[in-house]
Structure 1
Amino acid sequence: MKRIRTEDAVGHVLCHDITQIIKGVTKDAVFRKGHVVTREDIPVLLSVGKENLFVWEKTEGMLHEDEAAEILRGICQGPYMKATAPKEGKIELIAETEGLLKIDSRKLNRINGLGEIAIAARHGNTVVHKGDKLAGMRVIPLVIQKEKMDAAKEAGGEEPLFRILPFKKKKAAILATGSEIFHGRITDTFTPVVCQKLEEYHTEIVEQKILDDNPEETTKEILRQIDRGADFILCTGGMSVDPDDQTPLAIKNTGARIVTYGAPVLPGAMFLLAYYEDRIPIVGLPGCVMYAKRTVFDLALPRIMADDRMTAGEFASMGEGGLCLSCEVCTFPNCGFGK
């Protein structure tokens, strides 16, 4: 940092904010630290009493905050997102499509842990829409050591910290099980709820069928729908541990790989996810999906629609944040459920 005459400051970078006060009109920074002084700025600076300025002096091995922010952008930005121009040392990433936001949390924590670096983002594994702000990044000081930014690049590796997985257009079959609805004793109120949730992802529903409590027939129907081109199967009913609830058995007998039967999420503990031939998701939905505003299904569905495979370990980790508080006014996903 050095002190120079304002008239000689063109092309130099301010090291501090310049405040303009006009009584009854404004009291704000007319120029922010990091601003590159132009010839047009000189009269304004003189009008606020700045005949001398403190400006950044280029030093070997040091980077300006805008340069450092651009390095962070290169580390963070993945496909389907755009970056804003540096402003006061900060760059933001904006979604260019609808999809699932993925964050490499391990790398993010490592880079933020270097010190003097701030990368702030929304939660990963959440739905984003075109135009949504994803993250903001900057360094804390006006100038930072090039060595630290080199360390950040090394920690970031070859793959970007942030990715958006666009949602896929899937053909779904909904199979409602239960003798009470099969024989017309009650109305199927479960399928309309599932249809409504799938509509949010522009899913084509190729079949809606009601089945009796017969696991052999359910198995056959699942395989039949797959043969007919369905690439997503949802089974409702028969998911509890009662002896006559045999939907999990029917799914297992298709030969599908069971990822989980049960999740530490309330509502939704009896949720089942399996993959047939390791590519077609088969979901067993517990009864709570029919009446609860938000459940484990709302956490898993975006990942299924983005073809983002879930693991048993990920389900096991859902316990923290897995309790829906059933708020009087639901603000999901802008709440702690599933976070």
Structure 2
Amino acid sequence: MIFGEVPVEEAENAVLAHTLRVESLTIKKGVPLSAADVRALTKAGVTSVLVARIEDGDVMEDAVAEAVATRLAGDGVDVMTPVTGRCNLHARIGGVVTIEAATIDALNRSGDGVVTGTVAPFEVVEPGRTLATIKVIPYAVPKARLEALDALAGDAAAIVVHPFRPRKVGLVLTRVAGNKESLLDKAQAVISARLETYGSPVAYEARTGHHVADLAAAVEDMRTKGAELILILGGASTSDQGDVVPAAIEDAGGDIDLFGIPVDPGNLLVSASLGDIPVLGLPGCARSPQSNGIDLVLPRVLADLDVSPGVLLGMGVGGLMKDVPDRAEPRESHAPKTAAGPSGKVSAVVMAGGVSKRMGKINKLLAAVDGTALVRLVVAAAIESDAAEVIVVTGHEADLVREILSGFDVRFVHNPHYPEGLSTSLRAGIGAVSDNHSGAVVLLGDMPLVSAGIVNALIEQFQADKEETICQPSVDGRPGNPVLWPRAFFPEILDIWGDNGARQLLERYADRVSKVEVGDAGIHFDIDTPDDLNAG
């Protein structure tokens, strides 16, 4: 391929390097110039153009991208149609993605301008999730170099999705004196929800005293019943390999493979086996729905991936996770008393992960309202407001939502559990709010008439109320959305399950709600059906 400026009359069949706009004539970059294009450019007074001239033996960008993508794609991965030198790999199934970093690095360092970006290794992915994008920067690559790239990619697929294998899971919860049964109920619900996400609901449950003999008997009973994975959540944290949980596993005939992993929260995990049955002694943070160490280990177990001590001890890089809200001693609890607390700043969290069930095949968030995508209108209002940051929670068709919002100064948080209901996106968004922010206003992505002024009215009332009240807009006393939540309520929001959002908290704390009259019916208008879209 020869790249350079040539006279227009010599440019036929060459690939235009940059989009040309001359009067009413527009020719997009990357297009081979036809004889008609050359005539039109000459007529428009253009004398020279910057082009790439394709030589014999060159392979065009789309073909290169597809060839590299096909070589990288393994089981559970689909190769998408290449466009403008870019070819994406999508997950065909849900599971855990593994990536051979050495292969990706070798391709990226080849010097050919063929680059690959991927998601993080061992990420849990849902069907349709983009796993990697292969971009060919030049318009063509010599065939010999494509063959070299093929050799670098190797014979073994570098990107594979490992499906979850359903297991019969046994869950054992232990009690200590003074613990309420409701705490065990809460822990059971959180752990069950995690397992169901991966296709392995709890098959057997037992509750027992926090004593070696009692726990060992419960573990043995799980094996007898046919459990294929045993999880143990102790009423007290494990502090030594001789403590109750590991000692009980050994008394039941099991072997302790490892106690303690370099992941925080989640250090106090026990990895063991009872014959061919994996056994995990869960850290206390497993009670929280927020991401913690168990979320790095459990998916690998259920996808039949290696969780030997060497692998678990290799999780330290990237193992420092965000504190869970109900952790007894946050890692920064030793900070001096003068450390800064919440700053009075408010985050805007935009919910943009729903599946638009009542819209048929249309993703309403991407549909145009007055020529602009619905979700773009909502995010634009959030950016225009006095919110200190804007967080967009994606789920369904996340790639398309991100593309629609390109150019906006926002932070994206992906919620892989979006099919389970609005609460999963709410938890993801609230969990991502900056630590020094005092509250978060939650905007629904299907409410295009909510203005920056409405958001600002809520922030103003929130600050006037010393950041202590839940602020909700209203028109003639009728409440609507969005709602601004003080940080004090975040732990309870992170405990919400189902598809009702935070409505139950508004009812429970009605005396803490500050109604803000805004005189704008946009707080009641959302788009749920095609008719609503037409009305919008």
CA pair 283-20 structure 1, distance change in 2 beyond 3 A: same
Q: Residues 233-244 of structure 1: matches in 2 within 5 Å?
A: 233-237=230-234, 238-241=236-239
Query: Which amino acid is 2:169 matched to?
Result: A
Aligned partners of 1:274 and 1:185: how far apart in 2? 27
Stretch of structure 1 that moved more, 215-224 or 169-178: 215-224
Aligned partners of 2:199 and 2:216: how far apart in 1? 27
3-state SS of the aligned residue for 1:325? coil
CA pair 207-37 structure 1, distance change in 2 beyond 3 A: same
Q: Pick from 133, 150, 155 the counterpart of residue 153 of structure 1.
A: 150
Structure-1 residue corresponding to 2:59: 63
3-state SS of the aligned residue for 1:180? coil
Aligned partners of 1:145 and 1:257: how far apart in 2? 56
What is the CA distance between 1:253 and its match in structure 2? 3.8
TM-score for the superposition, normalised by structure 1: 0.81
What is the CA distance between 1:52 and its match in structure 2? 6.8
Return 5+ residue gaps in structure 1 as ranges. none
Structure-1 residue corresponding to 2:18: 17
Q: Give CA-to-partner distance per residue, 1:282-302, whole Å, 9 cap, x none.
A: 110122222473220111122
Q: Does 2:324 align with 1:288?
A: no
Q: Pick from 321, 324, 327 the counterpart of residue 321 of structure 2.
A: 324
Structure-2 residue corresponding to 1:246: 244
Structure-1 residue corresponding to 2:77: 81
Contact 2:172 2:231 in 1 (8 A): yes
3-state SS of the aligned residue for 2:318? coil
Q: Pick from 190, 195, 200 the counterpart of residue 193 of structure 1.
A: 190
3-state SS of the aligned residue for 2:15? coil
Stretch of structure 1 that moved more, 246-255 or 161-170: 246-255
Contact 1:239 1:284 in 2 (8 A): no
CA pair 192-55 structure 1, distance change in 2 beyond 3 A: closer
Calculate percent identity across the aligned residue pairs. Answer: 23
Structure-2 residue corresponding to 1:209: 206
Q: Pick from 307, 311, 315 the counterpart of residue 310 of structure 1.
A: 307
Aligned partners of 2:323 and 2:45: how far apart in 1? 58
3-state SS of the aligned residue for 1:101? strand
3-state SS of the aligned residue for 2:193? helix
Return 5+ residue gaps in structure 2 as ranges. 326-346, 348-390, 392-412, 416-427, 433-536
Query: Which amino acid is 1:263 matched to?
Result: I
Q: Does 2:102 align with 1:101?
A: no
Aligned partners of 2:324 and 2:284: how far apart in 1? 20
Stretch of structure 1 that moved more, 144-153 or 66-75: 144-153
TM-score for the superposition, normalised by structure 2: 0.54
Q: Give CA-to-partner distance per residue, 1:138-186, whole Å, 9 cap, x none.
A: 233223333333232222221111011112222211101234389x787
Contact 2:265 2:323 in 1 (8 A): no
3-state SS of the aligned residue for 2:305? coil
Contact 1:181 1:187 in 2 (8 A): no
Stretch of structure 1 that moved more, 68-77 or 262-271: 68-77
Contact 1:32 1:88 in 2 (8 A): no
Contact 1:6 1:50 in 2 (8 A): no
Contact 1:114 1:148 in 2 (8 A): no
CA pair 257-242 structure 1, distance change in 2 beyond 3 A: closer
CA pair 195-16 structure 1, distance change in 2 beyond 3 A: same
Structure-2 residue corresponding to 1:90: 86
Stretch of structure 1 that moved more, 50-59 or 40-49: 40-49
Contact 1:111 1:152 in 2 (8 A): yes
3-state SS of the aligned residue for 2:314? helix
Contact 2:91 2:129 in 1 (8 A): yes
Structure-1 residue corresponding to 2:68: 72
Structure-1 residue corresponding to 2:503: none
3-state SS of the aligned residue for 1:209? strand
- Aligned residue pairs, count: 325
Q: Does 2:140 align with 1:139?
A: no
What is the CA distance between 1:45 and its match in structure 2? 5.9
Contact 1:20 1:48 in 2 (8 A): no
Highest RCO, 1 vs 2 (Cα 8 Å, sep ≥ 6): 1
Contact 2:255 2:273 in 1 (8 A): yes
Aligned partners of 1:249 and 1:13: how far apart in 2? 74
Query: Which amino acid is 2:67 matched to?
Result: I
Contact 2:96 2:163 in 1 (8 A): yes
Q: Residues 38-53 of structure 1: matches in 2 within 5 Å?
A: none
Q: Pick from 249, 259, 262 the counterpart of residue 261 of structure 1.
A: 259
Q: Give CA-to-partner distance per residue, 1:162-219, whole Å, 9 cap, x none.
A: 011112222211101234389x787524222211222222323211111223324433
Aligned partners of 1:17 and 1:105: how far apart in 2? 33
Q: Pick from 106, 111, 124 the counterpart of residue 110 of structure 1.
A: 106
Aligned partners of 1:44 and 1:82: how far apart in 2? 41
Q: Residues 165-184 of structure 1: matches in 2 within 5 Å?
A: 165-180=162-177
Alignment root-mean-square deviation, CA: 3.4
Contact 1:72 1:138 in 2 (8 A): no
3-state SS of the aligned residue for 2:177? helix
What is the CA distance between 1:63 and its match in structure 2? 2.8
Contact 2:11 2:33 in 1 (8 A): no
